[in-house]
Structure 1
Amino acid sequence: MRFRLKELFKSNIAVYLVFVIFTLICYGNILPNKLFYDDEELIYKNAYIADLHYLPKYFTQNMVAGAGKTSNMYRPVLLISLAFDHFIWGLNPVGYHLTSIALHLGNGIMIFLLINMLFGSRILAIVSALFFLIHPVQTEAVTYASGRTDLLYSFFGLICINLFLIYCSNVKKWAPFYLLSVLFFLLSLLSKETAVVLPLAIILCFYVLSQKNKIKILPSQISLSVSWYFLIDIIYIVLRLTVLNFANTLNFYKEANSYSQNIATRFFTFTGVFFEYLKVLLFPKDLIFARNIDIITTAINLSVIIFVILAVITVFYFSITGKKNPVVFFYFFWFFIFLLPSSGIIPINSIIAEHYLYLPSIGFFLFISYLFNFFLRKYNSTYLKFFLVIILLTIISVFSIRTIIRNYDWKDPITFYNKSLTQSPNNIPMRHNLAMAYSEKGEFETAIKEYQYIIAASDVYPNTHHNLGNIYKEQKKYKDAEEEYLKALQIDRNFIFSYYALADLYKLTGETEKLNNVLEILKKYQ
């Protein structure tokens, strides 16, 4: 069967218009939102995106090298997209949010095309894509400017899969489709490391398409078709473990712990994460940026037991009906393929995050669409069909409203951090960010209270005392400032920022002897 792209697009203009309208309704209110949190390092303080002469460094250095930081993230395409925005918009947040909205809309369209191509069902494709576009869980990837990395890798990855399927469905097997697919896979991989699993998704789609068209495929055909994708994966992984290993690529933890050192613990914990993800997909009432999850160290746990039982039932189900129902097969495996990188196989530092669901959630939305379509076709009653449509529209409306409301939580740093701390009050880094936001706004007394709260809760962070010292210095409370800088150095003798701060302070107060002592210490760090 041959796909005529022009006809496909022309016949779906109304669908795309609906997608545009819903996307703008749900995300139009993020345009005035400020940039903050990781946006500081990626955008405001990143010299590399401000000057295109640094373009070669995007491909040889870590993601935040332009801000003078070190990270194990390597995402040159993300930096290119941010540099593009910086070139057009400077540091105006509106431009960055517009790009995120456009990418999210593009992903919705790509999902529509993919599902329509695989299953030949416009209802499945439209409902799945619409849920993807409006579901509140996506806000962490869309509303948060630094979350663009998920948008980018998904956008290029979905184009990659669509082009591959067009190539497979084309009688003449026109090579440019395949070559373009490989190129977009590379762009996806250079947007985010998670794209390493894309070849598995391509195999899944290839299998489903062959089932739909009733084509018998041999293992050799599959391996030949996806060989270039896996070759790129291998080259990428080798490079990330050698010349592009900026920190510890396979372990995000500075110190060993029970989670990072034990793969069984990571699997057990993932079962709890899985059910938390299901909860937020089904009932996205509580959207939490710094979501906490208990570390599970034993198999004797309700989450582990239920997960294993469900896994056994699923395997049994697919052994009987897998080939008969490719939709079920697809949405199940799609969900887990794209969750694989964050499942704990590699001990990443964020065990659970809503943005991890950005691409996997397609499987869940297809499941919801499948149920809706199943009942719509099963019953002939006009009243029942009308009732089902009303339920669907109600869910879409509720989710859209929840998305709009959640976007206001991201309005500015103080609003966001206060909201996050009502949900995770013991999150020290988040409280530290709130204190810094108050300080930058000139609300010093409020900032001091937040820093004092941190010190009372956990006095192990040198930067807490250092930042408190900066406030006292600004208030001309020089003795208090000195005490805080010295306390920072008691916690970490090598916290060089406090030495520099003391040097500036002693210059200001004219304490020459103390200044000379600090300058002597600083010579050791030069």
Structure 2
Amino acid sequence: MYIKWRLKAEGQGSSSKGQGKLASCILYLASVVSAVLAMKTKEIAFTLPVIVVLYEFMFLKGKVIKRVLYLIPFLITMLIIPLSFISMDRPIDELISDVGEATRVQSNISRLDYLFTEMRVVITYIRLLLVPLNQMLDYNYPIYHSLFDFKVFLSFLFLLSIFSIAVYFTCRSSTAHKGLRLTAFGIFWFFITLSVESSLIPIRDVIFEHRVYLPSIGIFFVISSVVFNVARKFNGKGQKAAVLLFAVVVLV
């Protein structure tokens, strides 16, 4: 709804009157209310405002101050989830303890061990998205205790390289070059939407395939943008063949 509102506002410009402005206001308010409801429904919604900010500055135009003002209500909604886990009427030491307990879900794994393990888990997620074999309902996944474990360090370098590519594409492209930006956006989407469950908040099950459902959208953005950018380099039948090949791969 936010994107629809922004596109509608850009299309109307400053000449919009009456019903047009009212419709725009309703869309904007509805998007903010939806963000609030999402925060009260599922913790993964914590990443929603970050995605909105990312989309705004990667694909839309306008004066920076106005755009920041548009985004402030969404950023404020990020307080809902943390505040819902703590009691503000307690002493500061108990408050800190509440925060520590709230950011741990039925797990005694240290935060760093969880982070190191998740580096390997994210690689597993990527592999499952590209080659969905050996899927499991309940994994007996090993816990890693050091960044310098060979498998962990290799995973770290691989993930860092992917993230660096996204940063490079963002810097190299302009808002007029949507191809590279869409690829970068997909990569950022993947990492951002995984950040709640695959970072420093220990969860009992270090890996669960359903956690990658939302992040997988980012991977599909990447695949789609790469295929269509490559297809542009072909003419006629070659272009159609590239798109058809992509469709077959997706269906398989």
TM-score, normalised with respect to structure 2:
0.78
Tell me the CA shift for residue 362 of structure 1: 0.8
Question: Whole-Å Cα distance in 1 between the matches of residues 106 and 244 of structure 2?
Answer: 48
Distance change (3 Å), C-alpha of 1:191 and 1:320: closer
CA spacing shift, 1:378–1:342, aligned 2, 3 Å: same
> 1:281: Cα distance to partner?
0.2
User: Are residues 277 and 168 of structure 1, via their aligned partners in 2, closer, same or farther at CA, if it must alter by over 3 Å?
Assistant: farther
Contact conserved, 1:163 with 1:180, CA < 8 A, in 2?
no
Residue 368 in structure 1 maps to residue 218 in structure 2: no
Equivalent in the alignment of 1:301:
149
Which residue in 2 is equivalent to 1:339? 194
SS, match of residue 341 in structure 1: coil
1:341: Cα distance to partner? 1.0
Distance of 2:112 and 2:102 partners within structure 1: 20
Aligned-partner Cα distance in 2 for 1:189–1:356: 17
Relative to structure 1, is the Cα distance of residues 393 and 200 closer, same or farther in structure 2, using a 3 angstrom cutoff? Answer: closer
1:264 offset after TM fit, Å? 2.0
In structure 1, the partner of 2:205 is 350
Which residue matches 2:31?
Answer: 181
| Secondary structure at 2:214 match in 1 | coil
Alpha-carbon distance between aligned partners in 1 of 2:159 and 2:120, rounded to the nearest angstrom:
14
Q: Give 1:222 deviation, angstroms.
A: 4.2
Describe the superposition over 1:97-117 as per-residue Cα deviations: whole angstroms up to 9, x where unpaired: xxxxxxxxxxxxxxxxxxxxx
User: Contact (CA 8 Å) 2:166, 2:187: kept in 1 or not?
Assistant: no
| Equivalent residue, structure 2, for 1:93 | none
Question: Contact 1:271–1:304 at 8 Å: present in 2 too?
Answer: yes
Q: Does 1:225 align with 2:70?
A: yes
Instruction: Tell me how far apart the structure 1 counterparts of residues 150 and 62 of structure 2 sit (CA, whole Å).
Output: 41
Q: Specify the alignment match of 2:82 in structure 1.
A: 237
Conserved 8 A contact 2:190-2:218: yes
Give the SS at the match of 2:196: helix
**2:5·2:28 contact (CA, 8 Å) conserved in 1?**
yes
Cα distance change on mapping 1:165 and 1:353 into 2, 3 Å = farther
Q: How far off is 1:179 after superposition?
A: 0.4
Distance 1:167 1:241, change over 3 A: farther
Match for 1:266 among 106, 109, 114?
Answer: 114
What one-letter code is carried by the residue in structure 2 that aligns with 1:268?
F
Letter of the structure 2 residue corresponding to residue 352 of structure 1: I
Alpha carbons of structure 1 residues 166 and 365: separation in structure 2 relative to 1, 3 Å: same
* Deviation readout 1:175-195 (Å, 9 max, x if unpaired): 221101011112222221110
Q: Distance in 2 between matches of 1:283 and 1:351?
A: 20
- 165 and 285 in structure 1: CA distance in 2 versus 1, 3 angstrom threshold: farther
Pick the aligned partner of 2:106 from 248, 253, 259: 253
Q: Sort the Cα spacing of 1:217 and 1:334 in 2 relative to 1 into closer, same or farther, 3 A.
A: farther
Unpaired stretches in structure 2, ≥5 consecutive residues:
89-97, 174-179
Aligned pair partner of 1:200 in 39, 50, 70: 50
Deviation, structure 1 residue 311: 4.6
- C-alpha offsets along residues 182-211 of structure 1, whole Å, 9 cap, x if unaligned? 11112222221110111100001101222x
Which of 391, 394, 412 is 2:245 aligned to?
A: 391
Within 5 Å, give how 1:8-87 maps onto structure 2: none
Q: Say which of 181, 191, 203 aligns to 1:326.
A: 181
State the alpha-carbon separation in 2 of the partners of residues 315 and 222 from structure 1: 25
Q: Distance in 1 between matches of 2:123 and 2:160?
A: 16
In 1, Cα distance between equivalents of 2:57 and 2:30: 21
Q: CA deviation at 1:279?
A: 0.9
User: In 2, distance between residues paired with 1:354 and 1:312?
Assistant: 22
- Percentage of matched positions with identical amino acids: 24
The answer to whether the 8 Å contact 2:227/2:242 transfers is yes
Q: CA deviation at 1:319?
A: 5.2
Instruction: Check whether the contact 1:199–1:230 (CA below 8 A) recurs between aligned residues.
Output: yes
Q: Please give the alpha-carbon distance, in whole angstroms, between the structure 2 residues aligned to 1:293 and 1:351.
A: 7
Structure 1's 187 and 166: CA in aligned 2 closer, same or farther, altered over 3 A?
farther
Query: What is the Cα deviation at residue 227 of structure 1?
Result: 1.5
Q: Which secondary structure does the structure 1 equivalent of 2:85 belong to?
A: helix
SS in 1 for 2:76: helix
AA partner of residue 87 (structure 2): T
Alpha-carbon deviation of 1:385? Answer: 3.4
CA, structure 1 residues 250+297, in 2 after alignment: closer, same or farther (shift >3 Å)? Answer: same
* CA distance in structure 2 between the aligned counterparts of 1:239 and 1:333, rounded to whole angstroms: 27
Partner of 1:169: 10
Asked if the contact 1:267/1:344 (under 8 Å) is kept, the reply is yes
Q: Which residue of 2 aligns with 1:283?
A: 131
CA distance in 2: counterparts of 1:372 and 1:204, whole angstroms: 23
Structure 1 unaligned runs (5+)? 1-159, 399-526
Residue type at the aligned position of 1:344:
S
Shift of 1:165: 3.7
Structure 1 residues 228 and 299 mapped into 2: Cα distance closer, same or farther (>3 Å)? same
Equivalent-residue separation in structure 2 for 1:274 and 1:342 (angstroms):
10
